[in-house]
Amino acid sequence: MDQLAKALGARIRTQRMSCRLSQDALALACNIDRSYMGRIERGEVNITVAKLYRIAQALTCTPSLLLPHVTELQSANQRASSESDP
């Protein structure tokens, strides 16, 4: 699940930057604390579906655009296991 939160956070950050929004502006638009938005983008927290929808609305995209594909998670898991192998 840790990889899921990180991949979701990365997609949110990418979409935010393509919309030319600051983290502060996105947090304000979503009624989320700025520091919590930073934790979301870093993948440190798991967000609710309601927050996902609020973020997507503020970024003028669908929630599904922000969700990582299974292949992204699989490749991240493979990288993580290869890094832990001696």
Q: Which amino acid is at 15?
A: Q
pTM: 0.83
Q: Is the pLDDT of residue 2 over 90?
A: no
Report, at the CATH architecture level, how domain 2-77 is classified: Orthogonal Bundle (1.10)
Using 50, 70 and 90 to split pLDDT, how confident is the model at 70?
confident
Quote helix, strand, coil % in the chain, to nearest 5: 70, 0, 30
Domain boundaries, the chain: 2-77
Q: How far is CA 23 from each of CA 13, 60, 80, 84, rounded to the nearest angstrom? A: 8, 15, 28, 32
The stretch 53-62 carries a mean pLDDT of 97
Residue 80 amino acid letter: A
